[in-house]
Structure 1
Amino acid sequence: MENDDLRVSINTSIIDTLKKMDAARHKVLLVFDDNNFVSIITIGDIQRAIIKDSNLNRSICSIVSRDNKDFANSNDTEELIKKKMLAIRCELMPVLDDNGTLTKIYKWTDFFGENDIKNDSLIDLPVVIMAGGKGTRLKPMTNVLPKPLIPLGDKTILEEIMDQFENIGCHNFYMSVNYKYDIIKYYLSQLSHIYNISFFKENKPLGTIGSVSLLRGKINTSFFVSNCDILIDQDYRDVYNYHKKNGNDITIVTAVKNIQIPYGVIDTTENGVMTGLREKPNLNYMINTGVYILEPQLINEIPDNEFFHITDLMNKVKKRGGKIGCFPVSEKSWTDIGDWKEYLKIINK
């Protein structure tokens, strides 16, 4: 069968499956045991495994569901398959015959546009965008343009971020501004699409979360916070569902960073006695992407007019026994536009 880029062996490790999803630019893969179709594995399966602190070098055999009922039958009409896909918002729909043999695959784009979503699951949360930085990593461009207005195709990074939130139902934006804020306001006022934005200005640099103290009394629900120079290929409704289900004070969207050490690593104990040898080990880390969900009462814990980072807030919440959760995305689902190398990579795709 075609679509070899969507096939993965049941014996593949979790981290290598995640890498294959990145390479194929799909969040669902077809799992095979030799030439026999077993099931599908989704980014959600992997995210749940990471949240449970599973060993990412373990095979996906342990996290694949073999009794998945969300498949189509070869006797189903295309209209029925379309309704099934829409109901569960699935990217791939395997079609099996009565013997469980895979006969066909339907993709979301066979029936819908890439940005089509199921409207009855929209959420409407406030979104705070931190847009006051000078963008020093993108100089000399940011000597002229403020970082949020860096172009990406026909839009700016700021529009891409806000459009992603609007697509899931979020329409109320609060924008922290400082550097060249008048240019940002003027640009947005000239767009044919009018965003609902409330600007708030820090008169001096207040760190990565300090200016949010200015929103005290204005937000009374869970809310998103996003840096203005990152893009994440993730449905933020899943992040919100995870945040509420786990009763988090803060949820951090994290990217899984995999690093292979190109040498043998020796473990030692006291007096330099070798206890083990690992040949070219893979190390996995969680990287802070710069997108969060916060509970509204946390605004009261941010000091007025003081330089205060999001990490300071995390430490404060952790110290008092609050709950901070991490929602993982794959490494290539996260793009840092504020870095020249990454910016050039994305505009040259």
Structure 2
Amino acid sequence: MYLNKKYIDVPRSSRKYYEIMDRSDVRLTTSPEKACPDKNYFIIIAGGQATRMKQGGFMLPKPLYPLPDGRTLLTRTIDEISNLTAHEIRLQVRSEEKQVFEQYIKDNNITNLKLICMSDLLGHGDGARYALQDINAKEGAVSFLWCDMLYQNNTLLNTLMLHHELGRTVTMPTVSLTNPYASLERDKNYSVTRFLFQSDGLEMPETGEDNIGIFVFDINKAKEIIDDLFKTTWNGGGQRKVDDLLKQAMLRNEIFAPRIGSITDYKNINSPLVLESI
């Protein structure tokens, strides 16, 4: 992985805002081994309704959607994690889908996964909180992952390397795209100052910058932000979402959001038709 000092030139020890662009002039020194310490937790958030997938005729949970290479969205994500040193991998699902996932895990001999079921899923923020609540680690990182985002190979590893080398508390890689479903705004120092979500009824820009479904938190920071969120914040739809966790982190100026590519390199699987272009 390379970092480009194109946008701000500060000493390496104090650098805060970078964009990872085309191969450039600053090489990270963190090794893959250091990027993946023993206390590295991964939580796959897979408790959505998958409304658009069902409208397209696919009735199984979205994570079980088959890809052209024979894997599913879920197994592809697990494969990405399996290349790293994971202390634990958790899959958060809706309770009504528990038996489907249990059978799938058994049929495919997936042994390194803990299933976390919620009977009253109010939003992905609730799912993140529930999946994290009995992890008692005092140090390490927790990565919240969507499994319906097809990012490039090694993107997760590279994100962890960046997160640990720069000593960040929240790392959220982004991509540039047109007609985004969500977007973010930055100040002159490239710090994130605002999130825009269609689900909040906000008008989206024609071109924007959005996350790719990887959110790496210092585990203590994740617990702190989640605790604060559930004390004070509900969004307008009566749900707590991962979006709300990001907003809380933004208010604390905690988010590091490197831009790592374009939408041509990343696919958001939100309908069966998307796979036709893969």
The TM-score normalised by the length of structure 1 is 0.55
Kept in 1: contact 2:43–2:91 (CA 8 A): yes
Distance in 1, matches of 2:32 and 2:224, equals 33
Task: Tell me by how many angstroms 1:152 deviates.
Answer: 1.0
Among 156, 159, 170, the alignment partner of 2:86 is 170
Q: Partners in 1 of 2:267 and 2:54 — Cα distance?
A: 18
The aligned residue for residue 289 of structure 1 is 212
- Following superposition, the deviation at residue 184 of structure 1 comes to 1.2
Q: How does 1:69-148 map to 2 (within 5 A)?
A: 123=36, 124=38, 125-140=40-55, 144-148=59-63
In the other structure, the counterpart of 1:254 is 174
Deviates more, 1:224-233 or 1:165-174: 165-174
Percent identity between matched residues is 19
Q: Does structure 1 retain, via aligned residues, the 8 Å contact 2:2–2:24?
A: no
* Distance change >3 Å, CA 318–CA 139, structure 1 → 2: same
Alignment of 1:18-97 (within 5 A): 44-46=2-4, 49=6, 51-52=17-18, 65=25
Q: Which stretch of the first structure deviates more once superposed, 154-163 or 291-300?
A: 291-300
Contact 2:44 2:92 in 1 (8 A): yes
Please point out which of 52, 70, 74 is paired with 1:158. 74
Unaligned runs of 5+ in 1: 1-42, 71-87, 89-117, 260-282
Say which SS state the counterpart of residue 286 (structure 1) adopts: strand
Count of residue pairs brought into register by the alignment: 222
**Contact 2:77 2:147 survives alignment (8 Å):** yes
Matches within 5 A, 1:177-188: 177-178=93-94, 179-188=96-105
Partners of 2:35 and 2:166 in 1: how far apart?
A: 20
Q: Which runs of 4+ in 1 moved over 3 A?
A: 48-54, 118-122, 140-143
State how far apart, in whole Å, the 2-side matches of 1:247 and 1:64 are.
Answer: 21
Q: Quote the residue 1:230 is aligned against.
A: 149
User: Residue in 2 aligned with 1:77?
Assistant: none
Is the counterpart of residue 244 in structure 1 residue 173 in structure 2? no
Question: 1:266 maps to what in 2?
Answer: none
State the one-letter code of the partner of 2:276.
Answer: L
Measure, in 1, the Cα distance between the counterparts of 2:176 and 2:66: 27
Counterpart CA distance in 1 for 2:57 and 2:168 is 36
Distance 1:149 1:49, change over 3 A: farther
Offset of 1:182 from its aligned partner?
Answer: 1.4
Deviation at 1:333, TM superposition (A): 2.4
Residues 280-321 of structure 1, C-alpha deviation per residue, up to 9 Å, x if partnerless? xxx8632122211012122243228x83112212222333x3
Contact 2:56 2:272 in 1 (8 A): no
Q: Could you say what secondary structure the match of 1:180 adopts?
A: helix
**What SS does the aligned partner of 2:274 have?**
helix
> What's the C-alpha RMSD, in Å, of the aligned pairs?
3.2
Deviation at 1:136, TM superposition (A): 0.9
SS of the equivalent of 1:148 reads: helix
Larger Rg: 1
> Are the counterparts in 1 of residues 144 and 214 from structure 2 also a CA contact under 8 Å?
yes
C-alpha distance in 2 between matches for 1:256 and 1:225: 21
Identify the structure with bigger relative contact order (alpha carbons < 8 Å, sequence gap 6+): 2
**Aligned partners of 2:129 and 2:211: how far apart in 1?**
22
State the 1:245 CA deviation.
3.2
> Larger % of strand: which?
1
The correspondence for 1:190, drawn from 94, 98, 107, is 107
